[in-house]
Amino acid sequence: MKLRPVVMKLSESTLSLLKNFSTINQSILFKQGNKLRTVSVMKNILAEATIAEEFPKDFGIYDLNQYLNGLSLHNDPELNFEADNYVVIKEGRSRSKYFFADPSCIVTPPEDSITLPTEDVSFQLSTEQLDKLLKAAAIYQLPDLCVEGGDGVVKVLVRDKKNDTSNDYSVVVGETDSTFSFNFKVENIKILPGTYDVVCCQKNISRFTSNNHDLTYFIALEPDSTFG
């Protein structure tokens, strides 16, 4: 049996991914191997990714943002996992000791991967489209992102559903014969910038699959979503 090395470095790509995961849940349970998974405390956002590195063991980090900021104290740190209850972060003559968290204190994803019961609407959302939608939501202070089908087209728009005179911003992303409205909270679109293949299911769940990384998000739809 091949033993995993206990010393490793993290790539910029993996660090960016972890920074993003820290916005979904401040804590994370790393598992032995090259898979990263996290879930929000409310369990309405789940993210999973495959990375280039392999972690040598399971360990919990309670404050992921703090841990990543600690890594940034070093230019090119080496992580040593020889100890049972902490990692040594080392570069040249400087070193930090960072203790692991009790896994029972961390909200973790279910063991099994999620499968959508049905794939009712699918489209691609480009980096630019996603960026403009989120920027418009910030400029106009809009809480809702909606995927709507009607008049032959699928469009994604940001608006305030509760306000009839709400400003909005929309982009057409496809064609459809169906009528539907899949609703998200903008605050739940915690995804890395990039292009995504998006699938919405009438059971009020969606899947965002990255075209740029081996990365998938499952995001819950709001209960007032409708299909057909």
Top pLDDT among 3 and 45 is at: 45
pLDDT digits (tens, 9 = 90+) for 113-122: 899 999 999 9
Q: Which two tokens stand for residue 43?
A: 């369990």
Residue 35 main-chain phi, psi, to 5 deg: -110, 135
CA dist., res. 41 & res. 83, Å (int): 29
Q: Which residue has the tokens 């399971």?
A: 58
Say what the pLDDT of residue 113 is. 87
Answer yes or no: is pLDDT of 228 > 90.
no
pLDDT digits (tens, 9 = 90+) for 114-168: 999 999 999 999 999 999 999 999 999 999 999 999 999 999 999 999 999 999 9
CA dist., res. 110 & res. 153, Å (int): 36
pLDDT digits (tens, 9 = 90+) for 20-59: 999 999 999 999 999 999 999 999 999 999 999 999 999 9
Strands (E), the chain: 7-8, 28-30, 33-39, 45-55, 59-61, 78-80, 86-91, 94-99, 121-125, 144-150, 153-159, 169-175, 180-185, 196-201, 205-210, 215-220, 226-227
> Which of 49, 11, 56, 26 is CA-nearest to residue 217?
49
Answer yes or no: is pLDDT of 5 > 90.
no
Count CA atoms within 13 Å of residue 138 on its CB side: 7
Strands (E), 73-115: 78-80, 86-91, 94-99
CA dist., res. 40 & res. 108, Å (int): 8
Say what the pLDDT of residue 4 is. 64
Domains of the chain (ranges plus CATH)?
7-105 (3.70.10.10), 121-227 (3.70.10.10)
Q: Please, are residues 91 and 74 in contact by the beta-carbon 8 Å criterion? A: yes
pLDDT digits (tens, 9 = 90+) for 64-116: 999 999 999 999 999 999 999 999 999 999 999 999 999 999 999 999 989 99
pLDDT digits (tens, 9 = 90+) for 190-209: 999 999 999 999 999 999 99
Compute how many other C-beta atoms are within 10 angstroms of the C-beta atom of residue 133. 21
Name the pLDDT band for 3 (thresholds 50, 70, 90).
low
CA dist., res. 58 & res. 214, Å (int): 21
